[in-house]
Structure 1
C-alpha cells in the first residue's frame, strides 16, 4: 500500500516513521530536486533515502540542500539525520575525504547533551554514521565515545533496521581497532540482526561488514557468501556505486585464502569502473593487483603495483591507507629478497599504523619486519619484533593478518617463536587454524596435523588427538597404509608394493579394490586428503603437515652426515633428538616380513648415525662421546660396532676398567638376548686392548 504523505505530515511523523523502517518503501513521494528541498526538506530527505538509483554524489547534493532548509527552520532532528546520511555517504563513495571535516564539525556542533536525544532510533542513526568518520579520522574522539554509548544502546533497541545500522558501525569500529572478540560478540552473538526493513544501500554496508569480519575470522567461504548476497542486491536494485567496493572486498577475501582464480575474477570486475571512478578506486585496484601478482610469484609486477598504490595513497591522504599499502609493498619486497627495502616499508607501515592504534596492521607489520630482520641475520632485533607481534596478536585474539599474507613467511615466524617460547599456546593455535606448512627443521613443539611414531608401538595423533586402535584386521587396514608408507622409507611407496605387502594371497582385482577402500577410509579418518597423497601410482605423506619419527631420523642422518665443522653445541643438539626417537624397535609386536625387513634397516641406520655423530664429538669432548655410546647401547644393546667403539675410546682415554666393563656388557647382552658370542672383530679388538679372552 502506497503512503502519500505531505511535507507537513512527514515532519509531524518524522520520529515515528524513523522507528518503522518497514514503512519507508511504501512512501510515495515526488522525485527530489535541490530546488524543491528549500520548501520540502523532509520530502527531499525521505525521497533521497529510498531512491536506490541515486549514486552517492547525487544523494549527497540533495541532502546538503535539505540540511540547509532544516537549519533555516531550526529542525534539529532533520539536521542530524541529513548530517548522518551525508557523512555516511562518503563510506560508499570513497572519493576525496577532505569535505568530511566540515560536515563532521557541523555534526559536533549540534550533538545534544547526554540523554538529550529525541528518540533512541534518532541517536542510533546518527551514531551509525561513524563508519564515515572512521574512514576519515580513525583517532577522532567521537568514535571511542560513540562505541561506548552504542554498546549499551544497541541492546536497548528493538530488533530491526536501527539496531542493525548501529551494529554495523560498532562492528566496523572494533574490527578496525583489531578488537576481534568484541566485533564477534556483535556479529555472532547479538540477536535481531536481520536485514528486514533495511534499505538496499544499508543492507550492502552490513553485508560488507560481515565479509570483513569473515576475512579476519579466517572464514573466507562465509565472507564470499556475504559478497554474493550483496552483489545480488546490486543487480536487483541497480546499485552500481556499490559494485566496485563489493568486488574489492571479494578480492581481499580471495587473496587471503590464496585463491588466485577468485581474486582475478573480482579484480577484473573492478576494472571497468576505473576510468570514471575516484582516485581511491585506482589505488585499491593497484593494491589488489599487487596481491594477485604476488600470489602468482610475479614479484617484479607486485612491487611496481604496490608502489603505485602507496604513492597514490600518499596523495589522497589518510594513515590507514598509507599503512595498508606500505605493508603490501613490504611483503612484495620481502618475497623478492630485498630485505633492507622491505624493512623500510614495514617501518613506514608501523609509523602510520601505531598513532591510529590499528593493531591488526601493527601485528602484521611487526611479523613481516621480524621476517626481514631474521633474513638479514639481525636476530636480536628480529626476536624483539617477533615478541611484540605475537604478544599483540595473542592479547587481542587475532585469527588472521591484515591485507594478504605469505604462508611460508608466517610459518617461519611461527616456528621461530615456538623455538624461543614466544606465546607458544597462541602461536600453536594460529598454526592449526591456518594449517600452516611446517618449515624445514621445525621445532619439536610444532603443531603437526598428523603425528606418527613407529619406533616402539605404533602411535598416530590427528591434531594432537590419538587415533584409537580399533579391533579386527579389516578395521586396521587404513592405518596399515600409514605403517607401510613408513616402512618403505623416504621415497614414495608404489601401490604395487602395498598390494603385495598387505594382501599377498589375494587376486589382483580384489587387491586393488581392497586398497581403494582402505585409502578412502584412511582419508575419511584423517579428514584431510592432502595428508596422504597418491600421485603417479605411489603413496606418500606430505611433509608440510605430517611428522613421523622415520622422517625425523632420516633428516638427522642427513644433517649429521654433513656435519663437518659443526660446533659442539650443534652436535649436542642433534644427539638428544636422535636418542629420543628410538623408543624401541620399529613397529614392535608386528611380525610381517616387510615390517621385519624395515626394522632391521632402521636399526642399522640408527647405529650408523650414532657412530657418525660420535666421531664428530670425540675430538671435541671424548667424555660426551662416551656418554652418547652408552645411551645408544641402552637402546640397541646388540650393536657390536658401538660396543667396539666404546671399548677403544675408553682404552685411548686410559680407562682400562671402563673398557673391561664395556667388553663384559657386550658379551653378556649377546649371550642373553641372542644366544651368541661376540664376533671375530670384537674378540680381536679385546685381545688388542689387553682385555680377557671371551669364553663361551
Structure 2
C-alpha cells in the first residue's frame, strides 16, 4: 500500500494519467505538469483531491471532483474522500450523497475524528434538504447528534460549530418545528451568520433562516435580514445556486409584505439567472412564487397558465414540491369557485405532507381543507379539520399559522351564523395581524377577506389595522359597505343638510372661482344619482346654451379639473356615462338609501322584527338624514327632483314606522315620528292630526288642542285657508271629550297608515 509497492505501480500510473487528463479537460492547463510530477503515489493523488475539493465545490465543478475521486481504487477511499464524494453528489443525487455521508461518518467514528463526524452529520442533514422528500428519518439523526453533543460538547472550530448549528436548526425546522429547542438553535444561528467566513454558505444558511422567520411570522426580522444581506448578494461574489435561492427568498419576502411588484422582479431575476447559468435547482420554487403572484390578478386564464408552468416541472422534483403544487392548485380551484375540485387537490397535498413528515405544511393543509369544507357548507367537517390544524399549530408557536387559523375559524363561525364564535376568532386574528403587520397570507382570497374586514369594522375590532389592511390590499367588496362610517373611503361626500367633501379625511375647499364649475359638475352628477349619468344630460343642465362639440369640450375640461381636485380614479366614464367610483367614494345619499332599504326589510320580515334591531336601523337613517338635499346650496331646477325624491322616501318610511309602533301601542314613539314628519313637511295636516290623536289618547287634550291651533295658524299665514274638515272634526271630538269616537278615529288612522 506504500509508495514503493511494485504491485501498485501500473495502477498508479494509469490513475495519474486519468487525473492529469481530467484536470486539463477542466482548464487546469498551467498546473498540469506540476500536478503530474507531484502525484508519485495514491496518497499524493488523494492529498491533491482533498486540497482541491473545496475550490472545485466553490466553482460548481461537482462532476470534475466526482470523476477525480472515481479514479482512486476503493481501498484509497478514506473517510475524507467519502465525505467529498458525497458533497459532489449532493446537488445532483441527494439520496446517493446521504449514503456517502453515512459511510464517511462511520469511518470518522472509527478514527475518532470529531471534525469529520460533525460535518458528515451536517452533510446528512443537507441531503434531506436537497432531496426535499421524506423528512421522517431525520428523527434518528436529530437524536444521534443530541446524544453525541452530550458527550462531545466542544466543537473543533467556529466554522464547524456553525455547520452543526445550521444543520440542527434545519432538522428541527423541517421535521420537528414543535421542538422546544428550535428557537434556541435559531438564535444561535442568527448570532453566527454575520461572522461565518464562507460567504456562499452564509447566504445559503440565511436563505433557510429567512424561511424560518416567514414560517413563524416574524416578518420584521425577515425584512431586517433581507436589508442586511441584500448588498452582498451579487453574481460577482456568489455561486449561482446560492444567489438564485436568495432571489427566491427576496421574492417571498416582498410577496408576504404585499409588495407584489418587487416580488415579481425578484422572481424574474432568479429565473433569468437560472437560464444564464444552467442552474435550475430552484426553478420549481420560483415558478410557485410566480403562480402565487398570478393568483393576485383577476384573470383566471393567467392563473391556469402560471399553474401549468409549475405542473410542467413538478415531477422533476421531490414529493414536497408535488405537495406544494396540489396545495396551490387547490387554491386556484377555490378562486374559480370550484370547491369540489379544490378538495381533490388538497387531499393529495395533505396526504403527501403527512407521508413526508413536515408538520408545518400539514398544519397549513389542514387549515386549507377546513376552508374548502366551509365553501361546501360542510361545517362539521370544517370544524374537524380546523381542530386538527389547531392541535398541530399550537406547539409550533407560529404567529403566522395562528393568524391563518383564527381567520379560518372566524370564517367558519360567520358561515354557520354563529356570530359570537366569528367575533371571538376575528378578535384574535386581527390582534395578531396588528402586532405583526401582516398584509398577506398564502391562501389570500380578496372577497373572503373583504367580508371579514367588514365584520371587524362593524364590531370595532382593531379598526386602525383593519383600515390599513383594506388600503394596502385595495379591498373592494362586491357591494360597497356604505353602512360603515369607519371603512377607509378615499372620498366622503355629504349632501344632506350641507355640502362638503373630505379627501382622505381632510376637508376639500369647494369654494373659489377656479373650483366653481368642477364642483357644480360634481353636484349635478350626485343630483342625477351619481351612477351612469349621461354626458348629454349633464351638459344640458350645466351648459344649456352650448351645442355639440362646445358642450363636449366644456364637459371634458371640467371633468379633468374635477379629477385633479379629487383624484383620477374617483370619476369613471364608460359609454359616455359618468359615475362616481363607489368602491372609493362614500356618498351620504347612497348610505341613506341603503339604510332605508335595510329598515324596510327588517319591518317586512317577521323573523327580524326585534325592536332593538329596528330601532338601531331607524337611528342610522336619521343620523344620515341631517336635512334636505343640498339644503344650503343654490337650487337649480335639476337639483329639485333628487331633493323631493329623498324627502318623499323618508316620509313614506315614517308612515310605515307609525303603523308599526301604533299597532304595538307605543304612543310616545309615534309622537316622535309625527314630529319628525312635521319637520319635513310642516304644511301637511295629516301629521298635525296624528299628533292630536296621540296626545289625546295619552290624556293630553290641552296639548292636542294646542297643536290644532298651531296648524290653524300656519295654514292661515301661508295660504290664507282654514284646516280641512277632517282636522276640524278631530278638533271637535277632542274638545268635547268624545272618547268612543276618538278611539274609532285612531283605529281608522292606524289602518290608513298601514
Partners of 2:211 and 2:720 lie apart in 1 by: 77
Partners of 1:589 and 1:82 lie apart in 2 by: 84
Partner-residue secondary structure (3-state), 2:718: coil
**What is the CA distance between 1:267 and its match in structure 2?**
1.6
**Counterpart for residue 492 of structure 2:** 451
Distance 1:424 1:616, change over 3 A: same
**Counterpart for residue 746 of structure 2:** none
The partner residue of 1:688 within 714, 730, 737 is 730
Q: Contact (CA 8 Å) 1:42, 1:66: kept in 2 or not?
A: yes
Deviations 1:295-349 (A, max 9, x none): 2222222222222322333333332222222222222332333333333332232
Q: Contact (CA 8 Å) 1:651, 1:659: kept in 2 or not?
A: yes
**Counterpart for residue 194 of structure 1:** 233
Q: Contact (CA 8 Å) 2:467, 2:488: kept in 1 or not?
A: yes
Deviations 1:433-481 (A, max 9, x none): 222234657544333343222223333334x422522664554555555
**Superposition TM-score, scaled by structure 2 size:** 0.78
The partner residue of 1:340 within 370, 380, 385 is 380
Partners of 1:408 and 1:112 lie apart in 2 by: 53
Deviations 1:203-235 (A, max 9, x none): 233222222222321222222222211111221
The partner residue of 1:568 within 602, 611, 615 is 611
The partner residue of 1:278 within 318, 326, 350 is 318
**Superposition TM-score, scaled by structure 1 size:** 0.84
Partners of 2:709 and 2:723 lie apart in 1 by: 15
Matched, 1:603 2:641: no
Matches within 5 A, 1:623-662: 623-630=668-675, 642-662=687-707
State the aligned residue count.
Answer: 681
Partners of 2:252 and 2:427 lie apart in 1 by: 27
Q: Which of 66-75 and 617-626 deviates more?
A: 66-75
**Counterpart for residue 615 of structure 1:** 659
Partner-residue secondary structure (3-state), 1:534: strand
**Counterpart for residue 32 of structure 1:** 66
Partners of 1:457 and 1:355 lie apart in 2 by: 57
The partner residue of 1:100 within 104, 113, 138 is 138
Instruction: Identify unmatched segments of 5+ residues in structure 2.
Output: 1-26, 36-44, 736-754
Partners of 1:515 and 1:46 lie apart in 2 by: 77
Q: Contact (CA 8 Å) 1:52, 1:237: kept in 2 or not?
A: no
The partner residue of 1:557 within 596, 601, 613 is 596
The partner residue of 2:718 within 669, 676, 690 is 676
**What is the CA distance between 1:581 and its match in structure 2?**
1.2
Q: Contact (CA 8 Å) 1:139, 1:356: kept in 2 or not?
A: yes
**Counterpart for residue 744 of structure 2:** none
Distance 1:640 1:679, change over 3 A: farther
RMSD over equivalenced CA pairs, Å: 4.0
Partner-residue secondary structure (3-state), 2:305: helix
Q: Contact (CA 8 Å) 2:213, 2:219: kept in 1 or not?
A: yes
**What is the CA distance between 1:148 and its match in structure 2?**
1.9
Distance 1:245 1:106, change over 3 A: farther
Partners of 2:395 and 2:455 lie apart in 1 by: 28
Q: Contact (CA 8 Å) 2:255, 2:293: kept in 1 or not?
A: yes
Q: Which of 480-489 and 188-197 deviates more?
A: 188-197
Deviations 1:489-518 (A, max 9, x none): 275322222222333333322333443445
Distance 1:643 1:138, change over 3 A: farther
Partners of 1:118 and 1:520 lie apart in 2 by: 73
Q: Which of 507-516 and 23-32 deviates more?
A: 23-32
**What is the CA distance between 1:109 and its match in structure 2?**
5.5
**What is the CA distance between 1:551 and its match in structure 2?**
0.6
The partner residue of 1:179 within 214, 218, 232 is 218
Partners of 1:321 and 1:202 lie apart in 2 by: 24
**What is the CA distance between 1:198 and its match in structure 2?**
2.4
Q: Contact (CA 8 Å) 1:314, 1:322: kept in 2 or not?
A: yes
Q: Contact (CA 8 Å) 1:179, 1:396: kept in 2 or not?
A: yes
Q: Contact (CA 8 Å) 2:483, 2:595: kept in 1 or not?
A: no
**What is the CA distance between 1:630 and its match in structure 2?**
3.5
Q: Contact (CA 8 Å) 2:331, 2:342: kept in 1 or not?
A: yes
Matched, 1:579 2:619: no
Q: Which of 378-387 and 63-72 deviates more?
A: 63-72
